[in-house]
Amino acid sequence: MASEFRLIPPTFVPPLEPEFRPAALANRAFRAEVAASGQGVPLIIGVERSDGALSRFETVAFPDGHPRAGANLAYAERIVKFLLWARGGWRVIIGGPRAIGEHIARVYAPDGPRAFDYHFMGEQVYGRPFAVVSCAADAVPAAREGGQALGRHLDGCRIGFDLGASDVKVSAVVDGQAIFSEEIVWEPTGQTDPSYHYATIMAALRLARARLPRLDAIGGSSAGVFVDNRPMVASLFRGIPADRYGEIRDLFLRIRAEFGVPLEVVNDGDVTALAGAMSLEDTGVLGIALGSSEAGGYVDLHGAITGWLNELAFAPVDYNPAAAVDEWSGDTGVGSQYFSQQCVFRLAPAVGITLPADATKAEKLKHVQGYLEAGHAGAIQIWQSIGVYLGYTLAHYAEFYDLKHVLILGRVTSGRGGSLILDGAKAVLAAEFPELAARVNIQLPDEKSRRVGQSIAAASLPAVARS
């Protein structure tokens, strides 16, 4: 983080991380400083995805040559990073001071500090060279959001499925009611032959199909980055060699053709948000799952799934330059280190809790949660810290998402932990961001949300044409 960019200590200090420097506070202070100077200029950032879809983010910066112009660089880079992982994009358009565009091009380069993002967003997700383009602010194209009006279709006979790391969940759904559900154990991540994934998924779908009088549509969810029903990057398929990954990219197109009915597959975070929106009977829902990593999903104010990535695990939330490092991307202060079991494991040694050796991650989390349920003071501080992180981070997310509801879920929120996180986040918002606290409802899923469930929400994704 460039020294010119000023970081702001929070009023609410995480008990186990006093050096936490929230993105929301630094960005708010920077914009206030630009406004107070009376010399601010527009900074408009565009990120372009597939099929010409483009998101815009409008903000301000100091003009080139201003004594404080150096602060622009870190401010803009962190926003670009967030936009890439929240929205997705193979091309970044910087409309504003020339030095900002030059800096972003140097950073997001094949040999730059964000080489990981350069290759991931370009080659792996969108299949084209990543690019940074500079122009005047008024030359940035208008937004072209490609939201899909997926979901909420409960009519007819449908199959819903969810692909997890250890099982395939499948349900037969008739007019919004699950009449059959099954979990099929599989081990997808180590498999090198795509036929394993195809055969297992087809077996699950046929099992549900046998329970239906007819089949009108299939909807599914899975971890990973999906573009037009094609898994571009997904941990479930990480064992597949590069020269055979094309078979995975076309997997669901093949399944759709074989069943001959509408089929839609999207990221599991989006389906979680959709399930929440259906249960709440509302829109503007952000779902955040605190599990092995941080998963996100969003249903916009029009009730649509946006086509955005919502990979918030890699979006920055802590601007402390010495913040925890993400082992995959190499970046610091991103969501995976604050809203997941990784965070619990990171903080546990600081309160004297030793993680059991040779245990699975799920077992390690249960071990620490056992201390929490027993009232261990240090364990309580772990979840209190997560609550503080979340309060400041929701204020940051609100700059990029139109929010009415936030649902927090996942294994880290189980038991006493959920209420500690929720209470901490609400306290931060009420004191530091009262306007946001007044208009956004933050909650754990209620019983109605659980009844809607992932399988019914997934089954509702495709629309069925009626003659």
**pLDDT for position 371:** 98
Confidence of residue 1 (pLDDT cuts 50, 70, 90): low
For the segment 425-441, the average pLDDT, to the nearest whole number, is: 98
**pLDDT for position 374:** 98
List the one residue out of 47, 299, 311, 309 whose CA is nearest residue 148: 299
What is the rounded distance in angstroms from the CA atom of residue 46 to the CA atom of residue 19? 32
What are 331's two structure tokens? Answer: 């970046």
For the segment 216-233, the average pLDDT, to the nearest whole number, is: 90
For the full predicted model, state whether its pTM sits above 0.85: yes
Residue 281, Cβ density class (10 Å: 0-12 exposed, 13-18 middle, ≥19 buried): exposed
**pLDDT for position 360:** 85
**pLDDT for position 148:** 66
Confidence of residue 410 (pLDDT cuts 50, 70, 90): confident
**pLDDT over 70 at 448, yes or no:** no
Confidence of residue 227 (pLDDT cuts 50, 70, 90): confident
What is the rounded distance in angstroms from the CA atom of residue 404 to the CA atom of residue 438? 10
pLDDT digits (tens, 9 = 90+) for 354-399: 999 998 888 999 999 999 999 999 999 999 999 999 999 999 999 9
What are 320's two structure tokens? Answer: 């402390």
**pLDDT over 90 at 328, yes or no:** no
Confidence of residue 412 (pLDDT cuts 50, 70, 90): very high
Residues 86 and 310 sit within 8 Å (Cβ to Cβ): yes
Where is pLDDT greater, at 432 or 221?
A: 432
For the segment 48-61, the average pLDDT, to the nearest whole number, is: 94
For the segment 182-201, the average pLDDT, to the nearest whole number, is: 93
Domains and CATH numbers, the chain: 39-139 (no CATH), 157-263 (3.30.420.40), 272-453 (3.30.420.40)
E strand or H helix at 406, and its extent?
A: strand 405-409
**pLDDT for position 450:** 54
**pLDDT over 90 at 465, yes or no:** no
**pLDDT for position 129:** 96
Specify the amino acid at residue 52.
Answer: G
Residues 215 and 262 sit within 8 Å (Cβ to Cβ): no
Q: What is 63-100 written as a DSSP string?
A: PTT-TTTTHHHHHHHHHHHHHHHHT--SEEEEES-HHH
Beta strands in 153-262 (DSSP E): 157-163, 167-174, 177-185, 217-222, 225-227, 230-233
Average pLDDT score, the chain = 93
pLDDT digits (tens, 9 = 90+) for 72-98: 999 999 999 999 999 999 999 999 999
**pLDDT for position 35:** 98
What is the rounded distance in angstroms from the CA atom of residue 43 to the CA atom of residue 97? 7
**pLDDT for position 214:** 97
**pLDDT over 90 at 189, yes or no:** no
pLDDT digits (tens, 9 = 90+) for 142-164: 999 876 667 889 999 999 999 98
Confidence of residue 449 (pLDDT cuts 50, 70, 90): low
For the segment 4-21, the average pLDDT, to the nearest whole number, is: 98
